Amino acid sequence: MERGQLILCATPIGNLKDITLRALDALREADYIAAEDTRHTLKLLNHYDIKKPLISYHRHNEFKRGQQILELVEKGHNVVLVTDAGMPGISDPGAQIVKEALEMGIIPTVLPGATAFVSALVISGICTERFVFEGFLPKKRSDRSSRLKDLAKEERTIIFYETPHRIKSILKEFLDIFGEDRPVAIVREITKLHEELIRGTLSEVLKEVEKRNIKGEIVVVLEGASEDIAQVNFDMSVKEHILKYMQDGLIKKDAIERVSKDRDMPKSMVYEHSTDLPISIKREQP
């Protein structure tokens, strides 16, 4: 029996018209459509008058359901895999089933289309020549802080996905790690009615975002570090940075000034990390 196909299909990220002719053909010709949220996908299918059997495939069942989908492909069925929006496998289910398919000798087919982070990057006004995609940052603050410190010296443009309820606190964390003058662009609701671009330095964009109740899908595009900033050691927190200078003999005031210069942060902001530190540290006599 001849195998069927596993087809990864990009779907619109907002505007239902942003779907390719090939994607519509694949959906119409599929034996099954595997969807992250069948209710969401049904809206797209109904819009184009497509009626096909739907299979639920999401983060919580991707191992078990992935095997069932690949068994259908082995039996000669064509299965189209879609997510709620954009390209399967990009901050959405899809990567696991591709890996399993390749291990079975099944070569997936991909139908390109809308992808939020690429669309945000090209309208951000920030360097598009070299970039890294980070997706969603960790939920736990300590894990997030560790990840951001790892990115502090990254010279390429950095792209993140973010949620409305977290965007203000995330920008504050960015400002702490990357400095107030780092250029950034917030792109929200791409391709939708209320699409918006907010750009400027981190301090400027944070002030604008704090005035408002930001809603919708959000992509953050952050300019990479300059060569000078990339040389600075950010493997420590701001407080640890201050403490290091104090242990080297500087009083707190001078240590704060040095850290402010190293990190391109306002002295007032650096000071907030030092409130429980003494004015100076007595060095033991040799």
Tens digit of pLDDT for each residue in 269-285? 888 888 888 888 875 54
Q: Note the helical H segments in 8-52.
A: 21-29, 38-47
Under 8 Å between Cβ of 52 and 79: no
For residues 9 and 79, give the distance between their C-alpha atoms in angstroms, rounded to a whole number.
Answer: 10
The predicted-structure confidence for 134-158, as pLDDT tens digits, reads as follows 999 999 999 998 899 889 889 999 9
For residues 223 and 207, give the distance between their C-alpha atoms in angstroms, rounded to a whole number.
Answer: 18
Supply the mean pLDDT for the chain: 92
**What CATH fold (topology level) applies to the domain 116-230?**
3.30.950
Q: Is the pLDDT of residue 230 over 70?
A: no
Report angle CA 95, 163, 64 to the nearest 5 degrees: 30
Report angle CA 183, 189, 191 to the nearest 5 degrees: 110
- pLDDT, residue 286, reads 44
- pLDDT, residue 235, reads 65
The predicted-structure confidence for 66-77, as pLDDT tens digits, reads as follows 999 999 999 999
- pLDDT, residue 11, reads 97
Task: For the chain, give the percent of residues with pLDDT over 90.
Answer: 73
Extents of the domains making up the chain: 6-111, 116-230, 236-286
Angle between helices 62-74 and 95-103 (to 10 degrees): 50
For residues 69 and 57, give the distance between their C-alpha atoms in angstroms, rounded to a whole number.
Answer: 9
Q: Is the pLDDT of residue 219 over 50?
A: yes
Confidence band of 231 (pLDDT split at 50, 70, 90): low
Instruction: Provide the whole-model pTM.
Output: 0.79
6-111 has which CATH code? Answer: 3.40.1010.10
The predicted-structure confidence for 83-128, as pLDDT tens digits, reads as follows 999 999 999 999 999 999 999 999 999 999 999 999 999 999 999 9
Q: Which residues contact 211 (CB under 8 A, 6 or more apart)?
A: none
Q: What is the mean pLDDT of residues 11-36?
A: 97
Q: Name the least confident of 54-58, 78-82, 236-240, 273-277.
A: 236-240
